[in-house]
Amino acid sequence: MNIIVMDDEPLALAALKDAIREALPAETPVGFDNAEDVLRYARHRPVDVAFLDIRTGRMDGFSLARQLILLSPTINIIFVTAYMDHLDRAFEIYASGYIKKPATVKRIRQEMSHLRYPRHEESPVLLVQELGPYVFDHIKQRVYHNGRDTLLKPKEFSLLCVLAGSPGVFFSQKHLLQMVWGLEANGDVRTVYAHASRLRIKLAMHESGHYDIEARRNVGYRLVTPQTEQYFLAD
């Protein structure tokens, strides 16, 4: 399940992500501190559940929710706010839930168990994925280039899968630590650098000419493909 969290206060954002991870151990929520980055992300990766603060910067939570619903009519919007005087507006846009800050593990579980658009665990599992000359075998954890095994190690495979899931999107080192290694954002980012460097070498060995791991200082990493545009994923 793809869960996103948006709050422009860093401490509140971190606390909500921690609560969601405790309430839903199998999930890894993606955090944003502004609406613009949320929309860039949602245009290229379908979102199942969005936990949104209401009083934010240039675009408030209600405006952001309407934009997300246009992108995905079955998205579940759960507002998380310190104010209880916005319930009527939340109902007007058919929000799935409304939580008063601070969000507790119990309340998150309650809202997730009564989603307006439930996501069922029995959904089809992705077994094989094609991306240009590459074929991802998610059962064997192998990536093949024109039929040849690229001989990736398990974490290299996982890292490439994350990047290939959203080609052209920059993923910060902190986010990759969470997605691939299950580490908190204060983990050693040199781990990401080392694995990304080996991936670049292995992709270059196949002389595809169009697929590469691009690193950008203070931004992160992305998979470059022939149709790559530029998008950013915040921490």
For residues 84 and 98, what is the distance between their CA atoms, to the nearest angstrom? 9
More confident residue, 77 or 127: 77
pLDDT of 183: 54
- Side-chain-facing half-sphere of 138: CA atoms under 13 Å: 11
**pLDDT above 90 covers what percent of the chain?**
23
The highest-level CATH class for domain 128-233 is: mainly alpha
- Side-chain-facing half-sphere of 227: CA atoms under 13 Å: 5
pLDDT of 212: 82
For tokens 């405790």, name the residue: 22
Residue 144 tokens, joined: 């093949």
Q: Do domains 3-112 and 128-233 have the same CATH topology?
A: no
pLDDT of 98: 92
Residue 150 tokens, joined: 């690229």
Residue 141 tokens, joined: 């954890």
Q: Is the pLDDT of residue 130 over 60?
A: yes
pLDDT of 229: 44
3-class SS string, the chain: CCEEEECCCHHHHHHHHHHHHHHCCCCCCEEECCHHHHHHHHCCCCCCEEEECCCCCCCCHHHHHHHHHHHCCCCEEEEEECCCCCHHHHHHCCCCEEEECCCCHHHHHHHHCCCCCCCCCCCCCCCEEEECCEEEECCCCEEEECCEECCCCHHHHHHHHHHHHCCCEEECHHHHHHHHHCCCCCCCCHHHHHHHHHHHHHHHHCCCCCCEEEEECCCEEEEECCCCCCEEECC
pLDDT tens figures, 140-193? 788 888 788 888 888 888 888 888 877 788 888 888 887 777 655 456 778 888
pLDDT of 228: 45
pLDDT of 127: 67
pLDDT tens figures, 9-23? 989 999 999 999 999
Q: Is the pLDDT of residue 234 over 90?
A: no
pLDDT-based confidence at 231, cuts 50/70/90? Answer: very low
pLDDT of 230: 43
pLDDT of 120: 60
Q: Domain ranges in the chain? A: 3-112, 128-233
- Looking at every residue in the chain, the average pLDDT score rounds to 82
pLDDT of 88: 82
pLDDT of 213: 86
Q: Is the pLDDT of residue 122 over 50?
A: no
Q: For 3-112, CATH number?
A: 3.40.50.2300
More confident residue, 199 or 121: 199
